[in-house]
Structure 1
Amino acid sequence: MAKHDSTIDLVFGLDDKPRFSVSVFAALQHVLASFIGIITPTLIVGGVLGLGSEVPYLVSMALIVSGIGTFIQARRIGPVGSGLLCVQGTSFAFLSSILAAGFIVKGNGGGPEEILSTIFGVCFLAAFVEIVLSRFIDKLRHIITPVVTGTIITLIGLSLIKVSMTDIAGGFGAPDLGAPVNLALAGLVLITIVIFNRFQVHMLRLSAVIIGLTLGFIASWSIGKVDFSGLSELSLIAIPVPFKYGFSFDFAAFLPIAIIYVITALETTGDLTANSMVSKQPVEGPVYIKRIKAGVLADGVNSAIASSLNSLPMTTFSQNNGVIQLTGVASRHVALFIAAILAILGLFPIIGGVLQQMPKPVLGGATLIMFGTVAMAGVKIIAEAGLNRRNMLICAISIGMGLGVAGVPEVLSAMPQDLKNIIGSPLTIGALSAIILNFLLPHHLDGVPERVEEPVEAAADTSGDIGGAREVPRAAVSSPTNS
């Protein structure tokens, strides 16, 4: 069983209270490491689904609910919250399913409000899947094994690559699709991120995405591809309004999102285990299990709060574990400062308005690496589970089904529309295929048992972290299983 990492020298432990200046400095570094991961999913959903003027408000809500979620996770309210220095942010894992839900509504003639009503309604109800699972998260390893989790996460990353490449070309419906200037801007961002990601200085690696996007944004502004004229029309303050766009439900949209909540519950288990290690807390025994269950419960509760306040589902970010290593500050009291900073940033829609002006090629240059990293994290989980014949069959069939339906949707043309909406999602058909095959195929197909009980080093991080803060393995202990 894994123990906490004795090589980490903490300046402030979990329950220490650093002075104000230290807390603010540490909090700013956590915000820096997670800011892009928090806002990018909203920018992608807003751009792909054509949500237009709603995007600044949605970005504000993403920041505010991340602050609320971080507070709950660290403060620990009753049985909710791990009590660790954890940052809650918008999860990339839900992107493909949320986009699919939006396109279902759009295909039925719905506008931005109908799209958001369905997305937030479905995400709110599906959050209770994770809330329920949190009570027996340590038992899920027998159902959702590493080969299933790795296959699903790989599909998530691969299915989102098309979104990145479309943005690199100029964005959906762009009149200059594929123009050399678009490719050049995306290339500038991509190369910048790669260069800074290779630096040995931790802060530069943590800031790689922000630096790349900033340079791309400045380059775009210098050639006239950024227009700030609409910022004057934005309201001064963004006030959270519960279910501002209404509340709608669609089962075809619900199923794939519910599946992702199962995966993020396991992902959060890995993140909290790694956080416990760097914070020199137990990673076995009743205290650890209680902390994991409370943390996953907080993830579900925070996602329900996020949906009710018009934001996308949240998860525990893993890149902040690297910040704890960097600063030596594991005090959960710092999370209160992080929460305050995020909430204050979210109060001002102009932040979202400026970010909305970021040209699609600039955003695409960054998300290409992010989504590719998600896919490779899934591949790593599969490899660590063991590439025996059984696992290879599960992965090959499931990924083939998912990408096949995505590439040739006409294969389902003869099916009823409702059924087509459900299994037409690459993620849904791939996930169901992996789960069913995992049940049906013998566990010793080629005489080599699947390594379910062994610790697995780095589970997938679908929060979009590519800043290099992965020195701590997202520990896979034998119970509960990490994602």
Structure 2
Amino acid sequence: MAINSQGNPTPAACHPVDEKLPAKQLIPAAFQHVGAMYAGVVAPPLIIGPACGLDQRDQIVLISVSLLVAGLATLLQTLGAGRFAGNRLPFVNASSSAGLASLLTVAHSAPEGHRIQTVLGAVLVGGLFCLAVGPFFGRLMRFFPHLVTGVVITLIGVSLMTVPVAWVQGGEGAPDFGSAANLGLALFTLVVIIVLQRVLRGFLKQIALILGMVAGTLAAAPFGMLDTSTFAQTSLFALPMPLQFGPPEFHPAAILAVCIVILVAMTESSAGMLAIGEICDREVEKRVVTRGLRVDGIATTVGSLFGGLPTSAFAQNVGVVSLTGVRSRFVVAFAGGVMALLGLFPVLGGVVSLVPYPVLGGAGLMLFGSIAASGIRTLSRAHLEQGHNMFVVSVSLAVGLIPLAAPTIYQQFPQWFQTVFGTGIVAGAVVAVLLNMIFNSPLRAPAAKPVPQPAAPANGG
């Protein structure tokens, strides 16, 4: 006899991962996953949209597509499609923050009026690259140990910190940029989130970031800091249309930058699957990882045709499974269905677009700070006291921080070089991989399984 999520005996043939819970248990557990992933799903389009020069209405489209793709990808991942795709684990797929800094560089380097097309073209090829590399990725895992992934994740969090800092001040181009009112609203939002994280428990703690954003938005309303003009014209229900931003454009430098980040995202997804397997006491074989990565590739490729961004694992939801002990994949599938439905109602994306930039900034400081903290935690398991590991980390972080400290340092270099290395994440990743090869010889070492500790369910992805 096996033991289910509630500690009751079940037939041995039914693993807790395959357990179908009654609705009164399934629905609350599913909404915990929705709460843990929602803020992280809507954050990437909120960042990429303005960088590509999109107006508020187009940003709402990006948000809706992000929600829809996340939901459908999670459904495919948890329920599976024969032996072709899906790891059939309680595993969430959604827009990843890993590639945001690179996508921002791609957007800024593209000609005005062609930015979103260039970004989506690079994402499309990145998705195809994921599909092509997925079956062989197990052989590449040795190049991405904790030493490398820790550097990359840390750089992701640090590099993206410029985004919420700009939001805190009101957003680039705002007439009141840097005003005391904007800074005060951002501080209020951050303080509310901190207090809620301290006093709340269970599901409410999972959605503390969302509750903080609601509180900040309500606080902004009496001061006329809400722009409701676009929201009033947003349709209640709409199906996303392919190529609604025009045909994708393909630029080699942009594609290379995104493909490098895709490798990092694949490493995250693979590690997440192994972690879920450990938590759920189910062996994750190579073919399971391959099927899981195939979902990443499918979601990224197809999603890009509608305005979607790179898709990978959400570590926060791994933490939810660990903390709640509910291992049923059908719970996560239900959560995916909820997210997909949310994506079909643009009015919900319009609600997100109402949130003032200072409120987003206050929440973003915590959101992206938690990513950097995750990277530091990963580095803590990289045995920095051994060999040249500390040297590898030091040089990689230094190179990765150069574009952040001096954004114009590579302006005399060719455009392709600026696009690829103008983001610290790619530069740091390349240096970390090369130095790890030089000092730790991964070519001769067997590939180790990176089984990370499950992340605490802070909001974001």
Q: TM-score, normalised by structure 2?
A: 0.89
The amino acid of 2:59's aligned partner reads V
* Greater Cα offset, 184-193 or 124-133: 124-133
Instruction: Provide the alpha-carbon RMSD of the alignment.
Output: 2.8
The amino acid of 2:433's aligned partner reads I
Equivalent runs, 1:121-200 vs 2, <5 Å: 121-199=121-199
The amino acid of 2:273's aligned partner reads L
User: What's the counterpart of residue 362 of structure 2?
Assistant: 365
The amino acid of 1:458's aligned partner reads Q
Q: Residues 198, 132 of structure 1: CA spacing in aligned structure 2 closer, same or farther, 3 A cutoff?
A: farther
Which one of the candidate residues 31, 35, 38 is aligned to 2:38? 35
Cα distance in 2, alignment partners of residues 377 and 350 from structure 1: 33
Structure 1 residue 158, shift from structure 2 partner: 1.0
Equivalent runs, 1:80-119 vs 2, <5 Å: 80-105=85-110, 108=111, 110-111=112-113, 114-119=114-119
Structure 1 residue 417, shift from structure 2 partner: 2.9
User: What's the counterpart of residue 255 of structure 2?
Assistant: 254
The amino acid of 1:70's aligned partner reads T
Equivalent runs, 1:412-431 vs 2, <5 Å: 412-431=410-429
* Greater Cα offset, 59-68 or 237-246: 237-246
Q: Does residue 207 in structure 1 map to residue 204 in structure 2?
A: no
User: What's the counterpart of residue 437 of structure 1?
Assistant: 435
Q: Residues 181, 129 of structure 1: CA spacing in aligned structure 2 closer, same or farther, 3 A cutoff?
A: same
Corresponding pairs, count: 448
Cα distance in 2, alignment partners of residues 455 and 232 from structure 1: 48
User: What's the counterpart of residue 476 of structure 1?
Assistant: none
Q: Residues 127, 212 of structure 1: CA spacing in aligned structure 2 closer, same or farther, 3 A cutoff?
A: same
User: What's the counterpart of residue 289 of structure 1?
Assistant: 286
Cα distance in 1, alignment partners of residues 188 and 360 from structure 2: 11
Q: Does residue 71 in structure 1 map to residue 68 in structure 2?
A: no
Q: Residues 232, 204 of structure 1: CA spacing in aligned structure 2 closer, same or farther, 3 A cutoff?
A: closer
Q: Deviations over 1:88-132 (max 9, x none)?
A: 211111111111111112xx2x22xx2221111111111233223
Cα distance in 2, alignment partners of residues 408 and 216 from structure 1: 33
Cα distance in 2, alignment partners of residues 10 and 186 from structure 1: 44
SS of 1:411's partner is coil
SS of 2:94's partner is strand
User: What's the counterpart of residue 298 of structure 2?
Assistant: 301
Q: Does residue 458 in structure 1 map to residue 453 in structure 2?
A: yes
Q: Deviations over 1:180-234 (max 9, x none)?
A: 1111111122122222223462223201111111111111112210121332322
User: What's the counterpart of residue 11 of structure 2?
Assistant: none
- On the 8 A contact 1:319/1:467 being kept in 2, the answer is yes
Q: Does residue 400 in structure 1 map to residue 398 in structure 2?
A: yes
Cα distance in 1, alignment partners of residues 440 and 272 from structure 2: 31
Cα distance in 2, alignment partners of residues 457 and 323 from structure 1: 15
- On the 8 A contact 1:87/1:335 being kept in 2, the answer is yes
SS of 1:241's partner is coil
The amino acid of 1:204's aligned partner reads L
Cα distance in 2, alignment partners of residues 253 and 401 from structure 1: 20
Identity value in percent: 32
Q: TM-score, normalised by structure 1?
A: 0.85
Q: Does residue 47 in structure 1 map to residue 58 in structure 2?
A: no
The amino acid of 1:71's aligned partner reads L
The amino acid of 1:175's aligned partner reads P
Q: Does residue 275 in structure 1 map to residue 273 in structure 2?
A: no
For structure 1, which runs of at least 5 residues remain unmatched after alignment? 1-5, 445-449, 470-483
Structure 1 residue 357, shift from structure 2 partner: 1.9
- On the 8 A contact 2:27/2:331 being kept in 1, the answer is yes
Structure 1 residue 359, shift from structure 2 partner: 0.9
- On the 8 A contact 2:18/2:330 being kept in 1, the answer is yes
* Greater Cα offset, 129-138 or 353-362: 129-138
- On the 8 A contact 1:402/1:427 being kept in 2, the answer is yes
For structure 2, which runs of at least 5 residues remain unmatched after alignment? 9-14
